[in-house]
């Protein structure tokens, strides 16, 4: 298939913003010293799939959509790919496949409906979303970007390829364990050794569930393991750090987490584990695995 590359900005109009839809890329690095979180896509695995299918840079900005219920109008022809959670995406009320390169025409409307699985879906556009960059990233974050979530009637710029002929059939088969796995891979955190033998055993033998207190900053778990550790000095934390609060509850820090914390860092999730956890929500269960 022959593609003609045109140097112009395409546009996407937000008809319905949904529950909490944001622009995200791989995040901000190198600004921890001034207290700026990394942010970025919660599920980098799914976002990378969408960008790869469109031959975008993996750093290209995408839309991160939570639980669907949103609608977008394309003001110019382009290519798109939807990945991650399945919220029944449709173009002009006709179902489209996930993880596949899809051509859209001028005035086509993309909508999301019934939730089949997952928590976060990603919409990538050929060339990436070309919103304003702050501190080397387009990722939304309160206090850094002017807005923290998409609003109705917003216009999103994109730098895109324009199709001349039929769309490619490029697609990628996903690993179903990414959405179904209940094993969260981690390593021992800096303060793991301060836990009692019983607490260490509980961490890896008990099943944990996600509470209602979840956000891009962190997931608080329902179960407690107790905490009689001495007060610690504030130390560096990262996305995936598992903190033990004074009450004995665990908090798993996510992409928008602070850069320092004073709670014991008992575990550290792998990048893959953060991605898997980002597709889980309240009341879902999992086990930590070394």
Per residue in 261-289, pLDDT tens?
A: 999 999 999 999 999 999 999 999 999 99
How far is 263 from 4, CA to CA, in rounded Å?
A: 54
Residues 150 and 12 grouped into a single domain: yes
How far is 286 from 217, CA to CA, in rounded Å?
A: 19
Task: Name the residue range of residue 148's domain.
Answer: 3-163
Residues 147 and 98 grouped into a single domain: yes
How far is 97 from 125, CA to CA, in rounded Å?
A: 15
Q: Could you say which of 163, 192, 218 is where a domain stops?
A: 163
Secondary element (H or E) of residue 121: strand 117-125
Q: Identify the CATH number of the domain in which residue 253 sits.
A: 2.40.100.10
pLDDT in tens, 11-37: 899 999 999 999 999 999 999 999 999
Residue 3: band (very low, low, confident or very high) from pLDDT cuts 50, 70, 90? very low
Residues 132 and 195 grouped into a single domain: no
Buried b (16+ CB within 10 A) or exposed e, 26-58: bbbeebbeeebbbbbbbbbbbbbbbbbbbebee
CA distances from 179 to 84, 186, 269 (A): 9, 17, 16
């Amino acid at each position: 298939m022959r593609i003609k590359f045109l140097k112009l900005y395409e546009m996407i109009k937000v008809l319905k913003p949904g529950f909490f839809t944001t622009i995200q890329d791989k995040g901000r690095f190198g600004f921890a010293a001034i207290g700026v979180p990394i942010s970025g896509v919660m599920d980098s695995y799914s976002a990378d799939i969408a960008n790869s299918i469109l031959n975008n840079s993996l750093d290209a900005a995408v839309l991160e959509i939570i639980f669907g219920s949103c609608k977008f109008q394309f003001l110019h022809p382009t290519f798109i790919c939807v990945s991650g959670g399945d919220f029944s995406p449709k173009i002009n009320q006709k179902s489209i496949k996930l993880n596949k390169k899809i051509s859209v025409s001028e005035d086509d409307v993309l909508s999301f409906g019934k939730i089949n699985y997952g928590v976060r879906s990603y919409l990538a556009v050929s060339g990436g979303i070309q919103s304003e960059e702050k501190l080397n990233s387009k990722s939304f974050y309160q206090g850094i970007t002017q807005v923290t979530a998409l609003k109705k009637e917003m216009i999103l710029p994109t730098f895109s390829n324009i199709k001349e002929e039929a769309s490619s059939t490029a697609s990628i088969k996903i690993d179903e364990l990414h959405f179904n796995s209940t094993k969260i891979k981690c390593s021992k955190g800096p303060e793991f050794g301060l836990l009692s033998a019983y607490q260490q055993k509980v961490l890896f033998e008990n099943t944990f569930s996600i509470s209602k207190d979840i956000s891009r900053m962190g997931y608080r778990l329902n179960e407690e393991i107790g905490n009689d550790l001495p007060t610690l000095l504030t130390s560096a934390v990262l996305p995936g750090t598992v903190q033990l609060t004074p009450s004995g509850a665990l908090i798993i820090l996510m992409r928008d987490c602070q850069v320092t914390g004073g709670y014991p860092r008992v575990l550290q999730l792998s990048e893959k584990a953060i991605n898997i956890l980002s597709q889980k929500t309240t009341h879902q269960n999992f086990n930590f695995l070394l």
